[in-house]
Amino acid sequence: MGFDAKITNESWREVLSDELTKPYLKELKKTLIQEKQHYTIYPQEENIFNAYNTTDFENVKVVILGQDPYHGPNQAHGLAFSVLNGVQHPPSLVNIFKELSDDIGCTYPKTSELTFWAKQGVFLLNAVLSVRAANAASHQGLGWEQFTDATIQAISENKEHVVFILWGRPAQMKEKLIDSRKHLILKAPHPSPLSSYRGFFGSKPFSKTNAYLIANNKTPINWCLS
């Protein structure tokens, strides 16, 4: 049983060329092959690197950082916080959409997929790119964090005027990887029901992002999904 997930986007393969050859990724691949023999893994293999394959490195304007993929059936498809259509909106996504409506007046979306954002340059990155079914955080510590940390650093070092949206403490621990002198960092509590009322609601990430992009001569994001 093999493991065929790969970054097909040449812009990312070039930026991460050194990282992609490091031994820890080969070990991670071996571990995931073993995991597949005993567990259902999400997202499906072809979607593990969906964030990279959907948003070209050159087009990245915004980074929204999540923790690990949703662990329920037919949910995760490789974009942080995004869920395949036809599945009930998870609570965190419900709260993101509520803030979207309150912040910039978008109609609450029927869709649960955020591909429309990703194609505009919103890089929806989870710190960990896979998970066992029904077992949250089960693939933490396997090596994904090293890879996604390198990804964040590559964006910080090679680009200017990117907005990094860090929701919750785990995401905010990545702040040290980002050069705040040339990027905007927006921090707020996580949108989960446990913390959303502690400052996520009213944080206005969408309008603040667009104001910064416009101020730096970049096309703003069309956040409205319906």
Show the tokens assigned to 122.
Answer: 């919103």
Distance of CA 36 to the CA centre of its chain: 23
> CB under 8 Å to 10, separation ≥6 — which residues?
none
Nearest by Cα to 15 from 159, 220, 221, 116: 159
d(CA 183, CA 179): 6
Confirm if 161 and 212 have CB atoms less than 8 A apart: yes
Question: Which is the catalytic residue, given 4, 68, 103, 149?
Answer: 68
What is the number of alpha carbons within 13 Å of residue 174 lying toward its C-beta?
A: 31
d(CA 189, CA 82): 18
Helix, strand and coil content of the chain, in percent to the nearest 5, comes to: 40, 10, 50
Active site residue 68: yes
158 C-beta neighbours (distance < 10 Å), count: 12
Which residues does the annotation mark as catalytic?
Answer: 68
